[in-house]
Structure 1
Amino acid sequence: MSFDPSKDLEPVAAVARVLVFLVTSPGFPAKDAKEFLAQLKARPGKLSFGSPGNGSSPHLAAEMMKSQANVFATHVPYRGAAPALTDLLAGQLDFLFDPGVAMPHIKAGKLKLLAVGSLKRSPLFPDVPTLDEVGLKGFDADTVFGLYAPAGTPADFVNRLNREINKALALPGPRERIAALGGEPAPMTPAQFHAKALEDGVRFGKLIRERKIVGD
């Protein structure tokens, strides 16, 4: 059965902008993102990174970094984020891009947070630079999670649901929950959400084709 999200789904509301954080194992010999990139360049193919699986957003973020920095590192795909994080904590991996799962370990000082993979810094870590700031100009691996309805859903229902979701995103509870996971509330109109989805599709689609990425 063929399925085309751009035709078969109706954008309703964005919920959260999900940031990815560049984190390294505790003993990795780099104190900041610039030193980390220098290590990658000096040791081509010697460093490894994990992800929750081929084609996952952390995998795409790492491939984006490899492409823009013109470096090579070995990808180790896992069946989910938890086992990848376990091996990073144990020093079996050198780094990974984390979408928020590692927050407790970062805050506890068990992992080193070197950079944010977006165009703006995270409010949770205002002193941590973005990869754009340390030399990878335009680096943006953010994704947006949201709610869709079947194509053909009446516009008045879509707009009403959008307004209610945006109201909820302004409340302290949802905002705090999203922030605890490393994200940010992303209230948008249905049209803005649709435009963002198309923009992300073009950006990540180009990366997937260029890097010949095949999902699990």
Structure 2
Amino acid sequence: MFRRQFHVLVAALVAGGGLLATGAVVHAEAHWPSKPIRMIVPFAPGGSNDVIARKLAQRLSTTLGESVVVDNRGGGGSTVGSNLVANASADGYTFLFVSGSIATTAAVQKTPYDPLKAFTAISRVASAPFVVLTREGFPAKTMKEFIDYAKANPGKVNYGSAGLGDSTQLASELLSNVAGIKMVGVGYKGISPAQMDLIAGRLDMIITTVASIRGTPTEKLPMLAFTTAKREPEYPNVPTVRESTGLDYVVDVWWGVFAPQGLPAAIRDRMNREIGAIVAEPEFATFLKSAGAAPAPSTPQALQDQLATDVVRWTDTAKRAGIQQ
């Protein structure tokens, strides 16, 4: 009898402990955030990821009532910082601000995490178009002429990119795949030196963002087309690749926020609402425009779907181009 009473008591204590633990978690979620939040940017300071993340963190600090601190952890094509988040506690105090490079990097190298399983998607923040630029004096003056010229001269057209696995490289290789052309890629440590070589006439073409060329001599080079689905309002006379060639080619750059896998839904949804409200602010939209981007908030599921689609797309592109490590 005493043994039975002992087991009943133990079971009650265990159940009570479980309830207390559950209650503690619910309490923590209800009072989130209660301390500073770290937002890891897996790139060095100064780039588009860093600039947009800092503006977002500044506004989140105000709306959440706790400091959101940007922590730059560059290296490994974004894998160093991303891996820190993948292995962090899913308590709502560590987030990842990253571009679509989280998918392109995984397409060309084995990452220490599975990009589709290691993170909880929160929200997309912004997107930006790519633009196709050529050097002065290049024979083709339109996108259609460029494709025709490249087909007639296989292997004689070169393009510059920001390096292995960068979206500028994969966007160029995807164009080659879709158009059935053969170009020679030249990788650089960043897009700026590639743009300088395009100005100097040592490259024939680059695909890059408006943000990277704004206010530079590259902005004055011939713009053949944008890679978006619709024309860019700021450049109404520049067609899209699809419009100019009929090719099913639409590519853009996006930035989003992720957390470690297992983040409580209540915190995920709160963060999603806060980001959506900030991105909808006219001041934030103006800031993004100055950076060559536009507001592009999303649901968590939409961001997860975008990532999944991009991983498949860029992995296939990398395989076809033979650029996987």
TM-score by length of 2: 0.62
Deviation at 1:5, TM superposition (A): 1.9
2:207 match: secondary structure: strand
Deviation at 1:33, TM superposition (A): 1.3
Structure-2 residue corresponding to 1:102: 213
- 1:148-205 Cα offsets, whole Å, 9 max, x none, are 0111111111111111111111122322232233322111111111112112222222
Does the Cα contact within 8 Å between 1:61 and 1:117 map onto a contact in 2?
A: no
Distance in 1, matches of 2:246 and 2:186, equals: 23
Does the Cα contact within 8 Å between 1:124 and 1:182 map onto a contact in 2?
A: no
Structure with the larger RCO, 1 or 2 (CA within 8 Å, 6+ apart):
1
Distance in 1, matches of 2:172 and 2:246, equals: 12
Q: Which has the higher helix share?
A: 2
Does the Cα contact within 8 Å between 1:118 and 1:140 map onto a contact in 2?
A: yes
- 1:96-127 Cα offsets, whole Å, 9 max, x none, are 00123013347x85211111112222222222
* Structure of larger gyration radius: 2
1:143 match: secondary structure: strand
Distance in 2, matches of 1:204 and 1:140, equals: 13
1:43 aligned to 2:153? Answer: yes
1:5 match: secondary structure: coil
When residues 4 and 98 of structure 1 are mapped into structure 2, their CA distance, relative to the original with a 3 A threshold, is same
Q: 2:224 aligns with which of 114, 119, 124?
A: 114
Distance in 1, matches of 2:225 and 2:213, equals: 14
Amino acid of the residue matched to residue 301 of structure 2?
Answer: A
RMSD: 1.9
When residues 38 and 104 of structure 1 are mapped into structure 2, their CA distance, relative to the original with a 3 A threshold, is farther
Deviation at 1:87, TM superposition (A): 0.7
Aligned pair count?
A: 214
1:6 match: secondary structure: coil
Q: 1:59 aligns with which of 157, 169, 190?
A: 169
Amino acid of the residue matched to residue 163 of structure 2?
Answer: G
- 1:74-94 Cα offsets, whole Å, 9 max, x none, are 110001111111111111111
Distance in 2, matches of 1:112 and 1:204, equals: 27
Amino acid of the residue matched to residue 206 of structure 1?
Answer: D
- 1:45-104 Cα offsets, whole Å, 9 max, x none, are 122110000221111111111111111121100011111111111111111001230133
Structure-2 residue corresponding to 1:28: 138
Does the Cα contact within 8 Å between 1:11 and 1:147 map onto a contact in 2?
A: yes
Distance in 2, matches of 1:213 and 1:17, equals: 26
TM-score by length of 1: 0.91
Structure-1 residue corresponding to 2:244: 134
Distance in 2, matches of 1:156 and 1:69, equals: 45
1:97 match: secondary structure: strand
Distance in 2, matches of 1:149 and 1:127, equals: 40
Distance in 1, matches of 2:247 and 2:180, equals: 13
Most deviating of 13-22 and 132-141: 132-141
When residues 109 and 186 of structure 1 are mapped into structure 2, their CA distance, relative to the original with a 3 A threshold, is closer
The percentage of counterpart residues that share the same residue type is 35
Structure-1 residue corresponding to 2:317: 207
Distance in 2, matches of 1:64 and 1:121, equals: 20
Distance in 1, matches of 2:302 and 2:209, equals: 23
Structure-2 residue corresponding to 1:93: 203
Does the Cα contact within 8 Å between 2:143 and 2:244 map onto a contact in 1?
A: yes
Amino acid of the residue matched to residue 284 of structure 2?
Answer: P
Distance in 2, matches of 1:123 and 1:205, equals: 32
Most deviating of 181-190 and 8-17: 181-190
